[in-house]
Amino acid sequence: MGIEVVVEGLTKSFGRQSIWRDVTLTLPAGEVSVMLGPSGTGKTVFLKSLIGLLKPEQGRVLINGVDMVNSPERDIYETRKLFGLMFQDGALFGSMSLFDNIAFPLREHTRKKESEIRRIVMERIEIVGLLGAEGKLPGEISGGMRKRAGLARALVLDPQIVLCDEPDSGLDPVRTAYLSQLLIDLNAQIDATMLIVTHNLDIAATVPDNMGMLFRRELVTFGPREVLLTSEEPVVAQFLGGRREGPIGMSEEKDAATLAAEAGTAVADDARPRRIVPQLEPSPGLPPRRAVARRRERVMGMLDRLPPAARSAIRETYAHSAQAPTLPMPATGSGA
Amino acid sequence: MITGALRQTGRLFALAAEVSRAFFRRPFQFREFVEQFWFIAGVTILPAALVSIPFGAVIALQVGSLTQQLGAQSFTGGASVLAVVQQASPLIVALLIAGAGGSAICADLGSRRIREELDAMEVMGVSPVQRLVVPRVLATMGVAVLLNGLVSVVGTLGGFFFNVVLQGGTPGAYLSSFSALAQLSDLYVSELKALVFGFIAGIVAAYRGLNPRGGPKGVGDAVNQSVVITFLLLFFVNMVMTAVYLQIVPPKGG
C-alpha cells in the first residue's frame, strides 16, 4: 500500500518573489490526486519541494516520519527511494540508451543480476509501449516517447509514491487518454500514492480521487474530486470551463480594474452545471483499485463537513455503485 | 558584491569538504573513474609533452645565458632542472588539466544540470557528488600526478638537449651540477603540487558545472569562469607552497 504524504504550512519563495504560502494538505495513501493550476503558479516547484529538491522556507513534508524539508540529507536520500518522479521532459540521461536509463535505479540501488534487471526493464518498457526502442538514445526519439521512458524509469523500483509533472504536455489527445488509463492501471497494480500535476482538463476530470488547485500564491482548495468539480469558486469555475472571463488573466492574474470592467459587461455566462464524468476504471483483467474502498470510507466519514453541492455529487456517484461491497473484493470495481 | 563573493567561496569550500568525505564512502564508482581517467589522460598527454619541450628549452637558454654572464656555466644544469621540476612542470600540468580536462568536466556537468539530469539522479536517491564528481576529481588528481612525472622528464631532456647542443655545455657538467643541487624532496614537492593542483582543478570545474546560471549560455559562461578561477587559484597556491617549501626544506647546495 502507498504511503501518506502530509504537507503542513509549506511556504516557498525565490528571493523576494513568493511562490505559494502556507500550503497544507494530505495526499491519502494509495489514492490518485491531481494538482491543477494555471501555468506559472508553482506546481512544479511544489512537486520538487515534496521530494526535497527545493527547500521551502517554512513548513514540513512528512513521509514515514521523515521531514523532506528539514531532515538530515542522509534520511532524505533514503526516503527518496520510495519515490518515482516523472519529469516534464523525461530528464533522461543523454549519454545512455533507453534501456540503460531505465535500468539505472536498479543498478544503483539493488544487487540484482543482469538477467533479472533485463527482465524487469523490458517489462516496464512494454507497459509504456516502447518495445523496440530500448537501444535508442534519448536524443533520437520523440518528446512523447521520452516522457513515457521517464515514466518507465520512475516505476522501475516499485515506488510507493509516484509524482508526475505534466504527463500530458507535448502529447496528442489520444496518447493523453492512453496515459490517463495507464496511470489508473498502475494505481490498480501497485497501489501507490500518486500526485499528478497538470493543467489538462481531461486528466483532471477522469483520473483523480482527489483534486487541488494552486492560484495566486495559495492553495485554493484540496479535497475529494467532487468538491473541486462542483465548486462555485470563480477561479475554479473559470479554469474548469477554460474561459477568459474570471480572475485568471494572461499574466497569471487580472488587476481589479479589468475585473470590474468585465463584471460590467455581463458576460453571457453559460451557467449550466458542470457534469461530473465518471472516473476511469482499471482495464479489464487487472485487479480492482484497493484505494477505491478506502476512499469511499474516508469520504463518507467527512461527508457532513463538505459543501452541499459536493455532498450531493458524492451521494450520486456512490449511488451508482451502492451494491458494491466496501471491502476490497468488488467484482466489477466501483465507480470512484 | 563582497558577500556574494564570500558566499561563492564558502560554497566552493563546502563542495571540497563534501567531495573529500565522499572519497571514502562506498560504493566507489570504479567504472566512471576509469573512463574519466582515460579521457583526461587522453586529452592532456600529447599537449603536455609538446608544451614541455620548448618550455624546458626556454628555461635552459635563459638560465644558460645568465650563468654564462656570471661565469657559473657549470651550474646551468642544476638550475634549469630545478626550475623545470619544481615550478614549470606542476604549472604546465595544472594549466592543461584545467584547460583541457576541467573545461570538459564543467561543460558536461553543466549541461546535465540544465537538462535536469542531476535532479533526476537526486530524485532516484543517487548523489551526483558521489556518483559523478568524486570519480572526476580523483581522475584529475591521478592524471596530474602521472602527467607531472612525464612533463618533468620531457622538460629536463629538452633542457639538456638545448644546453648541450646549442649552448656548447658539456653533458658531464650538466649532470654533475644537477646531482650537486637537486635532491629527492624537490621531486616530492613537485608531485605534491601536482596532486593539489589536480584537486583544485577538479573541484572548481565541478563547482561551476553544478551551478550554471540559466540555460546553455550559462553553461558556456561557467566553463569560461571555471578555467579562469582555476588559473588564479593555482598560481596563488603555487606561490604559497613554494614559499613554505623553501622555508622548511634546507637547500642542498648551501
CATH number of the domain that residue A279 is part of: 3.40.50.300
- State the pTM of this model: 0.80
Alpha-carbon gap, residue A291 to A203, rounded angstroms: 18
Chain B, window 104-133: residues with a beta carbon less than 8 angstroms from a chain A beta carbon: 111-112, 115-117, 119-120, 122-127, 131
What per-residue confidence (pLDDT) applies to A262? 66
Does residue A40 sit within a domain? yes
Q: Does the pLDDT value for residue A321 go beyond 70?
A: no
**How confident is the model at residue A252, as a pLDDT?**
58
How many other β-carbons are positioned within 10 Å of the β-carbon of residue A258?
12
- What is the pLDDT, as a whole number, of residue A335? 42
As given in the structure block, the three cell numbers for residue A231 are: 465548486
Chain A nearest-CA distance from B34, in A, is 17
Q: For residue A254, give the C-alpha cell.
A: 487580472
Q: Does the beta-carbon distance from A80 to B127 stay under 8 Å?
A: no
Asked whether residue B151 is domain-assigned, the answer is yes
| Per-residue pLDDT at A190 exceeds 90 | no
Q: Residue A215 in 3-state DSSP? A: strand
User: Chain B contacts of A87, Cβ < 8 Å?
Assistant: 116, 119-120
User: By residue range, what is the domain housing residue A31?
Assistant: 1-82+159-225+273-321
Query: Residue A212 domain-assigned?
Result: yes
Residue of chain A nearest B111, judged by CA positions = A94
Residues of A (31-60) whose Cβ lies below 8 Å from B:
48, 51, 53
Domain assignment present for B240: yes
Per-residue pLDDT of chain B (254 residues; tens, 9 = 90+): 788 888 888 999 999 999 998 888 877 888 889 999 999 999 999 998 888 888 888 888 888 888 888 887 777 788 888 888 888 888 889 889 989 999 999 999 999 998 888 988 888 888 889 889 999 999 999 999 999 999 999 888 888 888 888 877 788 888 888 888 888 888 888 999 999 999 999 999 999 999 888 788 889 999 999 999 999 999 999 999 999 988 888 877 65
Residues of B in contact with A51 (CB under 8 A): 123
Domain tally for chain B? 1
Show the domain range for B50.
30-248
Say yes or no for a CB contact (<8 Å) between A91 and B127: no
Instruction: Give the residue on A whose Cα is nearest the Cα of B113.
Output: A91
Whether A12 maps to a domain, the answer reads: yes
- Across the interface, which of B115, B125, B126 has its CB nearest the CB of A91? B115
In a domain, B16, yes or no: no
Rounded to whole angstroms, what are the CA distances from A7 to A58, A68, A95, B124?
11, 10, 36, 21
Q: Specify if B111 maps to a domain.
A: yes
Q: What pLDDT does A272 receive? A: 52
User: What is the predicted pLDDT for the residue at B135?
Assistant: 93
Name the DSSP class of A167: T
Q: Select the residue from B29, B117, B124 to test the A interface by mutation, using most A Cβ atoms within 10 A.
A: B124
Report yes or no: A80 at the B interface, CB cutoff 8 Å. yes
The pLDDT, as a whole number, for residue A327 is 43
Asked whether residue B22 is assigned to any structural domain, the reply reads: no
Q: Is residue B8 one of the residues assigned to a domain? A: no
Q: How many domains does chain A have?
A: 1
Residue A97 φ then ψ, to 5°: -70, 165
Report residue A233: phi and psi, to 5°. -50, 130
Mean pLDDT is lowest, of A81-95, A192-206, A315-329, B56-70, for: A315-329
CA triplet A49, A50, A52: central angle to 5 degrees? Answer: 60
The model's pLDDT over A32-55, given as tens digits with 9 standing for 90+, comes to 999 988 877 888 888 888 888 888
Q: What is the mean pLDDT of residues A317-335?
A: 52
